[in-house]
Amino acid sequence: MQIIKSIQNRIYDIRGERVLLDFDLAALYEVETRVLNQAVKRNIKRFPDDFMFQLTSIEYQDILSVVEIQTFSSNDSHTANPSQIVTGSQKHRSKDFLPYAFTEQGVAMLSGVLSSDKAINMNIAIMRAFVDVRKIVINQGDIKTQLSDIIERVGEHDAQLNHLYEAIENLIDKRAAQTKWENRERIGFKTNKN
């Protein structure tokens, strides 16, 4: 399942979609990025905007900065995840050749365009990676909901405890007032009872 972890590391969240970039897909399919993009362009009707879109230069720079931070934060080049290292040729793409991002549906459509055994097997692994990422996101949503419920309950308990504390303080104050009243110095005639 190492390949699925490697694929998950290549999935980015762009424009509210989880996507894989063309050069990462090309590396996974073991083809050149140019060959992958040519196959897509020959079958462009299969790739509407919700299946594939081209990144803006700002989006691409954001991804590069994330990748550089992840690569830089790794102490040893052998521990760096190779899937997150963008090759020099990708870093210096011209504005005309910004990467394409493929959504889960776009990656599924690629299976019909690239028909080698490697592409088919890799497509199956990629679909499994997308499913695993979706499960993680759903679990995080469940955890957030549970945490909100706990915070709400604690808030309710805090209010109830505050009422309880106030009632106890009132009882203590009442008791203190009663004791003070009983122990007060009496005025008037005092008789000696011998």
Query: Are the C-beta atoms of residues 70 and 81 closer than 8 Å to each other?
Result: yes
Interval 152-180 mean pLDDT: 78
| Helices 33-42 and 104-113, axial angle in degrees (round to 10) | 90
Which segments of the chain are extended strands (E)? 12-14, 17-21, 52-54, 100-102
Name which of 15, 40, 10, 14 is nearest 25 in CA terms. 10
- The answer to whether residue 44 scores a pLDDT higher than 80 is yes
Q: pLDDT tens, 138-153?
A: 777 677 777 777 777 7
Better-scored residue on pLDDT, 50 or 176: 50
- Average pLDDT score over the chain: 76
Better-scored residue on pLDDT, 88 or 6: 6
Partner residues linked to 18 by β-bridges: 13
Interval 160-174 mean pLDDT: 79
d(CA 4, CA 20): 13
What pLDDT sits at residue 188?
74
Q: pLDDT tens, 65-121?
A: 877 665 555 544 444 444 444 444 454 455 567 999 998 888 888 877 776 777 777
* Top mean-pLDDT range of 13-27, 68-82, 91-105, 163-177: 13-27
How far are the Cα atoms of 1, 34, 43, 47, 58 from residue 116, in angstroms, in the given order?
21, 17, 16, 19, 34
Q: What percent of the chain has pLDDT over 70?
A: 78
d(CA 98, CA 50): 17
What pLDDT sits at residue 174?
81
Better-scored residue on pLDDT, 88 or 43: 43
Q: What is the pTM of this model?
A: 0.55
- The answer to whether residue 194 scores a pLDDT higher than 60 is no
Q: What percent of the chain has pLDDT over 90?
A: 6
